[in-house]
């Protein structure tokens, strides 16, 4: 777990292998560190169980690199979303061992403390209506996996060919949480939520023709679903869906 960084400091102090002065230096950046353009929240892993995630949109590549290095210096896993091509290129050049997912606009570098969660209910399943929804799928998948949970994916199983969904009956029934991603009219989450007893999280995407209104039509459709218990996140918010699914799966 990520707060093993703090545990290791306390253990070293207790074992007298680390002086109090040196421990204070290691903890100097807590609970947050001021970089001038950003306040890095190093206590988030204590409060939430997971470290801060970098939202890269509208940040310069240089700012993202600086934030990434700061998080790494505190022994935490780095995970960033909504990174531009320029940002991903600079990260790849400046930081050794960084991993990137260009289609999902994500990057990450796992700390030495990272590991899969030992106690989870089961697998989180992601279902997408169409191939055009893949960038949101990749963001959700990266989020789930970086936070340490198992994840399965079913792509292109939308209602235009509903038999494609039904061919995955076992995966659907075995899932502990299902994230359903759809654009156009946004019908797929209602269908899935009507089939299962596990939590279902709907993600509307900005994929569709003009009257689709950039994702508002599937958003409203999902909010007005007649399938009981359907949870809805914002348009294209694969990260939010993945994070919520992890919190449900870990309870």
Query: How many CB atoms are closer than 10 A to CB 187?
Result: 19
CB 54 within 8 A of CB 79: yes
With residue 174 as reference, give the H or E element that holds it: helix 169-174
Which CATH fold topology does 124-249 show? Rossmann fold (3.40.50)
Place of tokens 């089961």: 122
pLDDT at 1: 45
Distances (CA, A) of 245 to 36, 103, 150, 232, 239: 33, 21, 11, 12, 10
Largest Cα–Cα separation, the chain: 67
- pLDDT mean by block of 10 residues, the chain; 251 residues: 65 85 68 68 71 90 93 86 96 93 93 72 91 96 92 93 91 95 95 94 94 94 92 97 92 74
Q: Which of 148, 137, 64, 162 is nearest to 111 (CA)?
A: 148
Domain extents in the chain: 4-109, 124-249
């Amino acid at each position: 777990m990520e707060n093993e960084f703090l545990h290791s400091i306390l253990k070293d102090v207790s074992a007298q292998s680390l002086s109090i002065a040196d421990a204070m230096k290691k903890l100097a950046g807590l609970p947050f560190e001021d970089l001038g353009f950003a306040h890095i929240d190093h206590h988030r892993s204590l409060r939430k169980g997971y470290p801060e995630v970098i939202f890269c949109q509208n940040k310069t590549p240089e700012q993202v690199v600086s934030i990434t290095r700061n998080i790494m210096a505190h022994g935490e896993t780095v995970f960033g979303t909504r990174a531009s091509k320029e940002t991903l290129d600079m990260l790849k050049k400046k930081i050794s061992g960084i991993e990137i997912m260009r289609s999902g606009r994500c990057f990450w570098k796992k700390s030495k403390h990272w590991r899969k969660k030992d106690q989870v209910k089961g697998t989180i399943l992601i279902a997408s209506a169409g191939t055009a929804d893949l960038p949101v799928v990749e963001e959700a998948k990266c989020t789930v996996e970086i936070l340490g949970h198992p994840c399965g994916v079913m792509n292109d199983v939308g209602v235009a060919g509903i038999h494609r969904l039904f061919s995955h009956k076992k995966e659907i029934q075995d899932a502990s949480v299902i994230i359903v991603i759809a654009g156009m009219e946004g019908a797929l989450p209602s269908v899935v939520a009507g089939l299962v007893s596990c939590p279902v999280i709907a993600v509307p995407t900005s994929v569709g023709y003009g009257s689709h209104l950039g994702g508002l039509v599937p958003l409203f459709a999902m909010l007005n679903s007649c399938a009981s218990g359907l949870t809805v996140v914002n348009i294209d918010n694969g990260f939010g869906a993945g994070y919520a699914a992890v919190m449900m799966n870990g309870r």
